[in-house]
């Protein structure tokens, strides 16, 4: 068994921390705590948040338009500090990967790209606050978080350095799977983007019934307003500013996306199960199927039970895990086929 490449365990730790950051971000967003601290990077002018009565009075004098709410300030600051810790670890990963850059196939460009991405994420985090939850920025911040998590996991896979069992089936079969798996990954990313747009526009309960929407199979919708990505920057987007038909359009699009992703992933899973006893992808296929079923259940539960907090947070976490499973699948298919030549 080959030894892991340098920084493998550090990268794996960063990946786990990135999962926490994604989950904390979802919790912050779903508890309406995104503006729990009206300034950035501090909180009402403090490094943590005001705690004593005098500090709270000072904070409210400094920001009279934003009364202090401890139950919203602490999730925001915990999320910020976890994200900052992740950024520091990514800096360490870059340092050690650069130090070992002369080793064979030691990744250098991917860690550097991750560092650039996490810096941009910090800017989006700042703009999320300073632009008062502008949906375009909130959605971009969410996608950036998922991208950071995915690339950290990809880096961990590259640093794993363990041999991957070679298939005992024709190469043609694997060549056919690669574009199918890549399309599955793209569809999941699009669905996550739709989910981010839905969340940032507070459209999760625009259709309170299931499987119908507003008691109709095809409800009244305003797609133009719902997907107007050039809407102006308003004073405050907490609670959303779109009208009912626009929110219904966003919610309905997310449902349609869920149907498309489900049907396609089931098709992909069927292709993977063909000759699965002869391939090293059997366990991964089981995981993808399990995560898909869980995601469907959580998504439906969000509607039926009116968006329970922990169900909604779990739905975000499930989306992240499904994304990572597709990243793993694509990496394994690429690595296996490229290793044959």
Which positions are annotated as active-site residues?
A: 76
Q: Answer whether 138's CB lies under 8 Å from 196's CB.
A: yes
Phi, psi of 4 (to 5 degrees): -70, 150
Question: Residue 246: exposed, middle, or buried by beta-carbon count in 10 A (0-12, 13-18, 19+)?
Answer: buried
Q: Answer whether 276's CB lies under 8 Å from 285's CB.
A: yes
Who's near 84: CB < 8 A, 6+ residues apart? Answer: none
Tokens representing 149 are 């998590």
What is the distance between the alpha carbons of residues 192 and 259, in angstroms, rounded to a whole number?
13
* Structure-token match 């009244």, residue found: 220
**E strands of 274-317, at which residues?**
none
Q: Answer whether 22's CB lies under 8 Å from 317's CB.
A: yes
What is the distance between the alpha carbons of residues 219 and 210, in angstroms, rounded to a whole number?
12
Q: Answer whether 262's CB lies under 8 Å from 296's CB.
A: yes
Judged by DSSP in three states, 88 sits in helix
Give the C-alpha distances (Å, rounded to integers) separating 283 from 7, 123, 273, 279, 329: 26, 39, 10, 10, 11
What is the distance between the alpha carbons of residues 103 and 161, in angstroms, rounded to a whole number?
12
Judged by DSSP in three states, 99 sits in helix
């Amino acid at each position: 068994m080959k030894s892991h490449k340098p920084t493998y365990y550090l990268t794996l730790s960063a990946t786990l921390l990135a999962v926490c950051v994604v989950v904390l971000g979802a919790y912050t967003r779903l508890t309406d705590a995104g503006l729990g601290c009206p300034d950035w990077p501090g909180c009402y002018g403090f490094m943590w948040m005001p705690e004593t009565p005098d500090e709270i009075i000072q904070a409210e004098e400094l920001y009279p338009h934003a009364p202090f709410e401890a139950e919203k300030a602490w999730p925001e600051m915990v999320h910020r500090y976890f994200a900052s810790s992740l950024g520091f670890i990514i800096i360490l990963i870059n340092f050690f990967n650069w130090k070992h850059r002369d080793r064979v196939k030691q990744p250098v460009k991917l860690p550097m790209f991750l560092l650039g991405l996490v810096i941009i994420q910090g800017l989006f985090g700042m703009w999320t606050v300073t632009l008062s939850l502008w949906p375009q920025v909130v959605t971009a911040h969410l996608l950036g978080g998922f991208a950071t998590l995915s690339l950290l996991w990809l880096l961990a896979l590259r640093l794993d350095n363990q041999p991957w069992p070679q298939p005992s089936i024709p190469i043609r079969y694997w060549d056919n799977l690669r574009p199918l798996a890549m399309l599955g990954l793209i569809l999941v990313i699009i669905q996550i983007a739709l989910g981010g747009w839905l969340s940032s526009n507070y459209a999760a309960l625009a259709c309170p019934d299931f499987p119908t929407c507003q008691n109709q199979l095809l409800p009244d919708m305003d797609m133009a307003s719902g997907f107007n990505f050039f809407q102006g920057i308003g004073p405050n987007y907490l609670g959303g500013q779109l009208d009912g038909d626009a929110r219904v359009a966003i919610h309905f699009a997310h449902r349609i996306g869920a149907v498309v992703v489900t049907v396609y992933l089931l098709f992909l899973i069927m292709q993977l199960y063909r000759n699965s006893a002869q391939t090293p992808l059997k366990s991964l296929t089981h995981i993808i199927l399990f995560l898909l079923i869980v995601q469907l259940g959580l998504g439906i539960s969000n509607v039926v039970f009116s968006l329970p907090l922990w169900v909604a947070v779990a739905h975000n976490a499930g989306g992240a895990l499904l994304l990572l499973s597709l990243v793993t699948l694509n990496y394994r298919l690429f690595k296996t086929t490229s290793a044959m030549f």
